[in-house]
Amino acid sequence: MGIYDREYYGSEPPSGIQMAGQWSMVNKLVAANVAIYILDVLLGGNHWLIRSMMTTPQTVTEPWMWWQFLTYGFAHSPTQPAHIFWNMFGLWMFGRDVETVYGSKEILRIYLVTVVLGGIVWGLRGVLFVNQAQWGALVGASGAVTA
């Protein structure tokens, strides 16, 4: 069976941003990221939401904080709007084609797995090879978008 014979390959690609009806998974991921960013900005200047979602090298050694290996991918720097803009622009530009070929469930799986793996690798690198005091925190979806 060739790739062109597969059921998901023959479906019509979504066109643009769909504002009514069925949203693509890429559009839902972009909306979730932007909603969290806006919520953090609206909650005030101390950015406690983003600080609680970001991961640090210490997260590797604290199993009760491992949920941050997922949440950092939805948190973006509140002081640099270009950070979320370029991450979401890249996800929207390239993610739509991947979703067209593999489907909504698979693009979500790819996104979430690469966010978690990116956070773990970044954290392990900070713990094993670099002085932890020199490392800041990890936020953003750059790893998942690149993958």
pLDDT of residue 98: 87
pLDDT of residue 75: 85
Alpha helix locations (H) across 21-103?
Answer: 25-42, 48-53, 58-61, 68-71, 81-102
Residue 43, CA distances (Å) to 10, 32, 50, 67, 85 in order: 45, 16, 11, 22, 20
- What predicted TM-score, i.e. pTM, was given to this entire model? 0.75
pLDDT of residue 6: 65
15-19 mean pLDDT: 52
Within a 10 A sphere around the Cβ of 33, how many other Cβ atoms? 20
pLDDT of residue 14: 52
Measured at the alpha carbon of residue 93, what is the angle toward residues 91 and 95, in degrees to the nearest 5?
50
List CB contacts of 10: < 8 A, sequence separation 6 or more.
Answer: 4
Q: What is the pLDDT of residues 21-64, one digit of tens each?
A: 588 899 999 999 999 888 888 887 777 787 788 888 888 788 88
Could you say which DSSP state residue 138 is in? Answer: B
Phi/psi at 74 (5° precision): -110, 0
pLDDT of residue 15: 55
Between 35 and 7, whose confidence is greater?
Answer: 35
CA distance 74 to 54: 9
